[in-house]
């Protein structure tokens, strides 16, 4: 949106003209703050991680990242809720097993908020398949198998809103 870009240009120019001592890299980081928005995302610690007593470590990583846990509840999911949540995977051969797994024990569902919370959580989580997830990510460190990959996080803002409604009403 042009008004916003013009505003950003002004901010940038002011910083440079004021000789704020900011290099280009710093100016870019500073401006990024204006481009990111506060978002809410839906996060779920899956039954494998609850069983393995990883709740605390995962919650600590989320909080350490600067994001805020707004809601959190342990619950065992209804199969119908899981089937709706993973409807985009209904034709996959692993769908039945995925629904079995997701209803096999309690999960911890959360609403997490902060700057670019959706993308930031996806980065913290790591790749879907733990074999591809980088060390230092939640899946990279705690998951070994794509069938039990420790955590769910919304993949876009639109789905975050849908999922928060689905799981918290
Ligand atoms: P995401 O959880 O990273 O968003 P999706 O592609 O949306 O990944 O898949 C949802 C979930 O379905 C995964 O987190 C995982 O639990 C399961 N899943 C995805 N692909 C496979 C697979 O190839 N085998 C078994 N389970 C899978
Ligand atoms: Mg997904």
Closest CA to 40 of 125, 151, 121, 138: 121
The four Cα atoms 107, 130, 80, 57 give a dihedral, to 10 degrees, of 10
H-helix or E-strand spanning residue 38:
strand 38-45
Q: What is the pLDDT along the chain (169 residues), one digit of tens a residue?
A: 444 444 555 655 555 555 556 677 777 777 766 677 999 999 999 999 999 999 999 999 999 999 999 999 999 999 999 999 999 999 999 999 999 999 999 999 999 999 999 999 999 999 999 999 999 999 999 999 999 999 999 999 999 999 999 999 9
pTM listed for this prediction:
0.83
CA distance 125 to 146: 13
Using a 6 Å cutoff on CB, does residue 89 contact ligand 1?
yes
Q: Which residue's CA is the nearest one to ligand 1's atom 9?
A: 128
Ligand 2 ion: residues within 5 Å (CB)? 155
Using a 6 Å cutoff on CB, does residue 31 contact ligand 1?
no
């Amino acid at each position: 949106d042009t008004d916003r870009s013009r505003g950003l240009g002004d901010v940038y120019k002011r910083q440079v003209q004021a000789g704020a001592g900011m290099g280009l890299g710093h100016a870019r980081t500073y401006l990024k703050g204006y481009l990111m928005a506060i978002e809410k995302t839906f996060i779920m610690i899956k039954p494998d991680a609850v069983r393995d007593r990883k709740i605390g470590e995962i919650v600590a990583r989320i909080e350490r990242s600067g994001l805020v846990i707004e809601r959190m509840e342990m619950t065992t999911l209804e199969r119908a809720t899981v089937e709706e949540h993973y409807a985009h995977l209904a034709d996959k051969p692993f769908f039945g097993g995925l629904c079995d797994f997701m209803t096999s024990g309690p999960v911890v569902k959360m609403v997490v908020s902060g700057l670019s919370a959706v993308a930031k959580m996806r980065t913290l989580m790591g790749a879907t398949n733990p074999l591809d997830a980088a060390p230092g990510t939640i899946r990279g460190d705690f998951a070994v198998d794509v069938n039990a990959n420790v955590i769910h996080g919304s993949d876009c803002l639109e789905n975050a809103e849908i999922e928060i409604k689905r799981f918290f009403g």
